[in-house]
Amino acid sequence: MHIQKISATVSKEALSRLLQGARFPDGVTLVDLSLADGAVLLVLRIASYFGIPVRVKLEFDSVQGSRVVFKATPPINLSMAESPNAAQPNRPEAVSRNRHTPVELDLVRLSKGIIKTATIKHLSINKSGISIQVEDLEADPQKVSVTWQSL
């Protein structure tokens, strides 16, 4: 299935429900989520930080094809950020010298096989939600049908 252009808006509440069901690395639990202009603010409970809640700001940086790049502040140690849905190019020893850690989320990987390819043209974040515009989206028609029916 090929979709030339599609736009979607995800409310803060829907994003929160989605992230509550997301798989985080071992020892990381989402406690709270809020949105600000250009950023997602997460409160995470991290076992390697003695279970103390840590507020992480994911500030929108750029889009690259199907990937969205955020700047995570404070810098996130690789051992706590490893996830199939997130990638950090920094090595652990470099984290302490940086003011932020790049965090990459890939729309194709997040879709778990529903989307084969996509090009993100625009993404914006504000207090009420996230808006995204995608072009040249290729999707698996059977997986889209199953997902659509489960809504």
Instruction: Tell me the residue type at 83.
Output: S
Percent of the chain with pLDDT over 70: 84
Residue predicted with more confidence, 140 or 51 = 140
Rounded to whole angstroms, the Cα distance separating 110 from 132 reads 15
Tell whether the model's pLDDT for residue 41 goes beyond 60: yes
Q: Does the structure show a pLDDT above 50 at 121?
A: yes
Joined together, the tokens standing for residue 15 give 């994003």
pLDDT band of residue 47 (cuts 50, 70, 90) is confident
Residue 5 scores a pLDDT above 50: yes
Find out whether 125 and 39 touch, Cβ atoms under 8 Å. Answer: yes
Average pLDDT of the residues of the chain: 84
Residue 6: the pLDDT is 94
pLDDT tens per residue across span 49-98:
787 898 999 999 999 999 999 999 988 764 434 444 444 444 444 444 56
Query: Could you tell me the residue ranges of all domains in the chain?
Result: 2-140
What is the structure's pLDDT at 92?
A: 44
Instruction: Tell me what pLDDT residue 36 has.
Output: 96
Q: What is the pTM of this model?
A: 0.76
Q: DSSP assignment of the chain, as one string?
A: -EEEEEEEEEEHHHHHHHHHTSPPPTTEEEEEEEEETTEEEEEEEEGGGTT-EEEEEEEEEEEETTEEEEEEESPPPHHHH-BTTBB--S-HHHHTTSS-EEEEEEHHHHTTTSEEEEEEEEEEEETTEEEEEEEEEEE-HHHHHHHHHH-
pLDDT tens, residue by residue, 100-110: 889 898 999 88
